[in-house]
A and B are shown apart, each in its own frame.
Chain A
């Protein structure tokens, strides 16, 4: 048996120390991703540091920010009154993810940290640079229907699978982390990274840095929102393409807008250019289409996923139409 030690900690400092002390240790929260990866032999930490007892479950208002603890459950966040009232986009994105059972276990921090679902990553005897740098990318010339159309490299074309993170990046969130060198704030945009030459690195966390909370600044984006997830079945499937759209609509005019896409890149894909284009313009299908065209500028297909070049802009238009009720 691959034995591992188990340690339960109850303070942030304890959690950080335990990881810093032991290079083969890893935090476990809901365990819904890590345990699967351990069973598959993709990851084999020798020590699990259970962080579920840390007091990081709270969802509260701090000044003009909504602060969500890293250990708040996906279901608790989705159902939370404050979240539903002030940041409904987040609630919608969470509800589109996984299943009710999984959402009852999964945490905010774990969700951000979940690994890609690329089948080559998941199968230890297939090539994968993310799992085993230097073995090649199995998906590049393999079956890549689920894979990236933005920002990929020839080392890795995997996508980040989180739905929640698509909403968080759209909402200009900030990730609060605590590490051996102290506390740090990371804009959500910069939290996940593109694969480049280091596909084994999913994000910009340093070793020993624990996510303690996510902050969402106040906005006027709680009326016209939609999270549209296109997938292979009605529920319990990862996104082929998903779009988080939140619009501050005044009359017919788009005062403010946030757009992000899932299932298309190694990180939650914020669509700044499309946002910029739409700001101040009337909400119309023609404008949505133009924004979508801008959003797709640098997209590239790898064969099986070429359909996403059509699906992504159409999903964006559809999400905007539903969010605004226009077009």
Chain B
């Protein structure tokens, strides 16, 4: 990694993932790994129609099948206190009503659960589930976005009103312009660990769940709303998550159904979605059609940008994401119009998928920028530099930090951008055409609220607690790195306890905010803990007390594994065990809430992805040779896990660009490639070397550790970089993802 160019300080030691050993040895327990006596198994039976009503449902054979304890349907489901009522304020959709399984006979999408079968073994419940038979009063479903554009509407709520600055659709009067349409199909998160929950009740009003969620508190709130129970009666645990990519950002109907089923049978219930159900019941990146109008002066200054997006939602909820928002702030451009619409379809509600709307939006925006650069005969990097936004054009605020130009430079050098030929189709290697492309990514940087408890033990062991969980990016590792740095403790002396509502409240793991939020909270609690230690160490008569009864401050001390010592005289010292003994304390502990304040700055993370690839024009094969991803994410707190994040984002972006596409047969309203054999994601052989470069410059305002976010920008901008490289190689502009052989050959 190139380290010398921009940083404030050396990227910290390459800490290994602190939960790595537990994960690779199998001792890390995921939701469905938890074992309890008398556990029973649930399985959801899905609707075979995409819209209509259940006319009749025959559960007799299933009920009689060996081992079956219950079959819950809309006919016999316990009426939950709030089971059919309105919207759930703790959840993402901005409008509509959350779906509750078995609350009515209505079917909104294919494979919506119409029954929950519960039996004593997994095999028996699977079998019994096949015996449930339903008759439907079918209605005409709609699953095709293209065919329903006439039903597009502005989502409820102020965030999605049409936006114009300067002249509306001002690009039209530009000297050089393009107007193009771009399409993003449905992509499915498909984390390795399927959606799973284990629920058990103690009595009638206390429940504990292990579930695959990205936010234990949000799940707790959902269960509280559904069952009208006080929050403290509900414990939600999700210490380890086997990836999620956004799938776990809300409570899904299957989770509420499982909690209900566990209550009904009075036993611990385990419900794991089958891989096929992962494609139909727990969200996806919505299908989105986009139109971009982009215009510039002949010397490459942007005049106008219009970005329209229409995406699908479900038939019962409004799902929204920030698809068009990047177009408002990424470039200095006087006339910008954005419009965002949604269309209800008979598919489960989408849910944010890594780099949510921005990934979709940047495919359109960054492809369009590339198209206009060709028209202008300008290098695409140069074109972007000419339109660099020095302050936020949306609100006029200065940036809290922005090192996008540095990203362009780092990446262009590393990929060998100077070898790129401006004229498409002119760089060859035998029968293969070589192409270079780049794309910019951005995502809002934000610091939320988190409370962290720190406990220092006599042997110098530090325990950190927060309810935040870790779906894979390395949150515990990041927390350890921050604390290790501040407390002068080696990594192995620090233990992070996380992922439970029994711990101090932390944020959802999502939106690239966890490091900025929880990392800062760890920072704050460590500083406070150090002061507390200093106060104890400096008490009158204590080891390091100062002359004239002046209060000892943390700044006067050196903190290490063994204890604290005076900064001015290292021989004046006290071990933690002595300090605790002297003060009659078993442990020094401190809990601190910490959060951001509203700043007079605009804050975003940035990434630039460079791709070199080759296309075999006769057969449409694409082989990616090299990816360079550069990020301005503020301070890099933990280098190894940060690199891992970026590499994972590049892999996800390659899948998005070249493979992922949930195909729905609209005649039946159901997907036909809902399995991992037919729904393609990259395999190892598809992934080239991915180089990750960080600017690693602190954001001076956003939070005390100077970190912005990384998870989303790792993926945002990868797909257009690939599409642009394909154009550079072949002269073929594919505006509909994924870029597959059929599209390349027919273009």
* Residue on B nearest A126 in the bound complex, by CB: B668
**Complex CA distance for A77 and B658, rounded to whole angstroms:** 33
- Please indicate the chain B residues that have their CB under 8 angstroms from the CB of A233 in the complex: 658-659, 680, 682-683, 685-686
Is B91 in the interface zone, CB < 8 Å from A?
no
Does B549 belong to the interface (CB within 8 Å)?
A: no
Complex contact A234–B618 (CB within 8 A): no
Residues of chain B contacted by A1 (CB below 8 angstroms) = 66, 123-124, 127
Interface residues on A, range: 20 to 34
Is the C-beta of A209 less than 8 angstroms from some C-beta in chain B? Answer: no
Contacts of B10 in A (CB 8 A): none
Assess whether B620 is interfacial by the CB under 8 Å rule.
yes
List A contacts of B678 (CB < 8 A).
117, 119
> Does A318 make an interface contact (CB < 8 A)?
yes
For residues 123 through 156 of chain A, which have their beta carbon under 8 Å from a beta carbon of chain B?
123, 125-126, 138, 141-143, 145
Binary flags per residue of B257-301, CB closer than 8 Å to A gives 1, else 0? 000000000000000000000000000000000000000000000
One of B123, B619, B623, B659 near A230 (C-beta < 8 A):
B619
In the complex, A75 has a CB within 8 A of chain B: no
Which parts of A15-55 form the interface with B (CB within 8 Å)? 41
Residue ID in chain A nearest B123 by CB atoms: A1
Contact present for A314 and B618 (CB under 8 Å): yes
Q: What residues of B have a CB within 8 angstroms of the CB of A143 in the complex?
A: 663, 665, 672
CB pair B621–A230 under 8 Å, yes or no, is: yes
Closest chain-A Cβ to B54's Cβ sits at a distance in Å of 16
Interface string of A218-236 (1 = CB under 8 A from B): 0000000000101011111
- Tell whether, in the assembled complex, residue B740 and residue A123 are in contact, meaning their CB atoms are under 8 Å apart: no
List, in ascending order, chain B residues with CB within 8 A of A120's CB.
672
* Complex CA distance for A145 and B677, rounded to whole angstroms: 15
B667 contacts A311, CB within 8 Å?
Answer: no
B685 contacts A234, C-beta separation under 8 Å: yes
Across the two chains, which residue of chain B brings its CB closest to A236?
B683
Say yes or no for A310: interface residue by CB 8 A criterion.
Answer: yes
Q: Is the CB of B431 within 8 A of A318?
A: yes
Given the known interface contacts A119-B672, A232-B659, A317-B618, the answer about A307 and B683 at a Cβ–Cβ threshold of 8 Å is no
Q: How far is the CA of A93 from the CA of B679 in the complex (A)?
A: 23
Are B742 and A307 in touch, CB under 8 angstroms?
yes
Would you call A237 an interface residue if the criterion is a C-beta within 8 Å of the partner chain's C-beta atoms? yes
- How far is it, in angstroms, between the C-alpha of A318 and the C-alpha of B742 when the chains are bound? 17
With A230-B619, A318-B619 as given contacts, are A41 and B130 in contact (CB-CB < 8 Å)? yes
Taking a contact as CB atoms under 8 Å apart, the answer to whether B672 and A142 are in contact is yes
Chain B, residues 669-697, CB within 8 Å of chain A (1/0): the string is 00011000110101111100000000000
Within the complex, the shortest CB–CB distance from B122 to chain A, in Å, comes to 11
Q: Does A59 contact B (CB under 8 A)?
A: no
Q: Does B562 sit at the interface, judged by CB under 8 A?
A: no
**What CA separation (Å) do A307 and B744 show in the bound complex?**
9
Taken together as a complex, chains A and B put the C-alpha atoms of A138 and B124 apart, in Å, by 31
Residue B746 at the chain A interface, CB threshold 8 Å: yes
Interface string of B172-203 (1 = CB under 8 A from A): 00000000000000000000000000000000
Residues facing B in A307-327 (CB within 8 A) are 307, 310-311, 314-315, 317-318, 321
A234 to chain B, nearest CB (A): 4
Task: Known contacts A119-B673, A318-B431, A318-B619; decide if A145 and B742 are in contact (CB<8 Å).
Answer: yes
Chain A at the B interface: mostly helix, strand, loop or mixed?
loop
**Which chain B residues border A315 with CB–CB below 8 Å?**
618-619
In the complex, what distance in Å separates the CA atom of A138 from the CA atom of B670?
13
Nearest CB in chain B to that of A41: its residue: B130
Contact of B680 (CB < 8 Å), options: A123, A126, A141, A232: A232
Contact B619 A314 (CB under 8 A): yes
| Inter-chain contact A306/B746, CB cutoff 8 Å | yes
Q: Is B80 part of the contact surface with A, judged by Cβ < 8 Å?
A: no
Bound: A143/B685 CA distance, A: 27
Within 8 A of A (CB), among B691-747: 740-742, 745-746
**CB-nearest residue of chain B to A315:** B619
B659 contacts A307, C-beta separation under 8 Å: no
Residues of chain B contacted by A259 (CB below 8 angstroms): none
Beta-carbon contact of B127 and A2 below 8 Å: yes
Q: Is the CB of A235 within 8 A of B668?
A: no
What separation, in Å, do the CA atoms of A240 and B741 have in the docked complex? 9
Residues of A within 8 A of B663 (CB): 143
CB of B590 to closest CB in A, whole Å: 51
Contact of B48 among A125, A237, A317 (CB under 8 A): A125
- How many B residues touch A, CB cutoff 8 Å? 34
- B-chain residues with CB within 8 Å of residue A142 when the two chains form the complex: 665, 667, 672
- Determine whether the beta carbon of B683 is less than 8 Å from that of A234: yes
Interface string of B620-648 (1 = CB under 8 A from A): 11010000000000000000000000000
From residue A270, how far is it (CB to closest CB) to chain B in Å? 21
- How far apart are the CA atoms of A107 and B682 in the complex, in Å? 27
| Distance, CA A310 to CA B124, complexed state (A) | 49
B632–chain A nearest beta-carbon distance, Å: 32
Closest A residue to B620 by beta carbon equals A311
Closest chain-B Cβ to A321's Cβ sits at a distance in Å of 8
- Residues of A contacting B616 in the complex (Cβ-Cβ under 8 angstroms): 318
Complex CA–CA separation, A317 to B616 (angstroms) = 13
Known A-B contacts A230-B621, A233-B659; the reply to A307 vs B741 at CB < 8 A is yes
Nearest CB in chain B: distance from A46 CB, A = 15
Contacts of A235 in B (CB 8 A): 683-686
Complex-state Cα separation, A138 to B616, whole angstroms: 32
Chain B nearest CB, measured from A312 CB (Å): 10
Chain A residues with Cβ under 8 A from B665's Cβ? 126, 138, 142-143
The answer to whether A318 and B672 touch (CB under 8 A), given A1-B127, A2-B127, A142-B665, is no
What residues of A have a CB within 8 angstroms of the CB of B682 in the complex?
A: 233
A60: interface (CB < 8 Å): no
* A228: chain B residues within 8 A (beta carbon): 619
A117: chain B residues at CB < 8 Å are: 677-678
B659 to chain A, nearest CB (A): 6
Closest beta carbon of chain B to A161's beta carbon, Å: 11
Contact status of A311 and B680, CB under 8 A, knowing A142-B665, A306-B746? no
The smallest C-beta distance from A54 to any residue of chain B, in angstroms, reads 29
A310 to B619, CA, bound (A): 8
**With a CB–CB cut-off of 8 A, which chain A residues contact B621?**
230
**B663, B668, B672 — most chain A CB neighbours (10 Å):** B672
Interface set, chain A 238-259, CB cutoff 8 A to B: 240
Q: Does A184 contact B (CB under 8 A)?
A: no
Q: Is A85 close to B, CB under 8 A?
A: no
- At the interface, yes or no: A304 with Cβ under 8 Å from chain B? yes
What CA separation (Å) do A305 and B659 show in the bound complex? 16
Q: Contacts A120-B672, A125-B48, A143-B672: A318 and B659 contacting too (C-beta < 8 A)?
A: no
Give the shortest distance, in Å, between B678 (CB) and chain A (any CB): 6
- A138 CA to B672 CA in the complex, in Å? 11
Taking CB atoms, residues of chain A closer than 8 Å to B683 are 233-236
Contact call A304/B659, Cβ cutoff below 8 A: no
For B658, what are the chain A residues with a Cβ–Cβ distance below 8 Å?
233
Q: Which residues of A contact B741 (CB under 8 A)?
A: 230, 232, 240, 307, 311
B-side contacts of A2, CB under 8 Å: 127
A304 / chain B contacts, CB cutoff of 8 Å: 742
Q: Which residues of chain A are within 8 angstroms of B685 by Cβ–Cβ distance?
A: 233-235
List, sorted by A's number, 29 A–B pairs whose CB atoms are closer than 8 Å: A1-B123, A117-B677, A119-B673, A120-B672, A126-B668, A126-B672, A141-B667, A143-B672, A230-B621, A230-B741, A232-B659, A232-B680, A232-B740, A232-B741, A233-B680, A233-B683, A233-B685, A233-B686, A234-B623, A240-B741, A305-B742, A307-B741, A307-B742, A311-B619, A311-B620, A314-B745, A315-B619, A318-B431, A321-B431
- Which 3 A-B pairs have CB atoms at the shortest separation, nearest pair first? A234-B685, A307-B742, A314-B618
Since A304-B742, A321-B431 are in contact, a sample of 16 more A-B pairs with Cβ atoms closer than 8 Å, ordered by chain A residue number, is A117-B677, A117-B678, A119-B672, A119-B678, A141-B667, A142-B667, A142-B672, A230-B741, A232-B659, A232-B680, A232-B741, A233-B683, A305-B742, A311-B742, A314-B618, A318-B431
Residues of A in contact with B (beta carbons under 8 Å apart): 1-2, 41, 117, 119-120, 123, 125-126, 138, 141-143, 145, 228, 230, 232-237, 240, 304-307, 310-311, 314-315, 317-318, 321
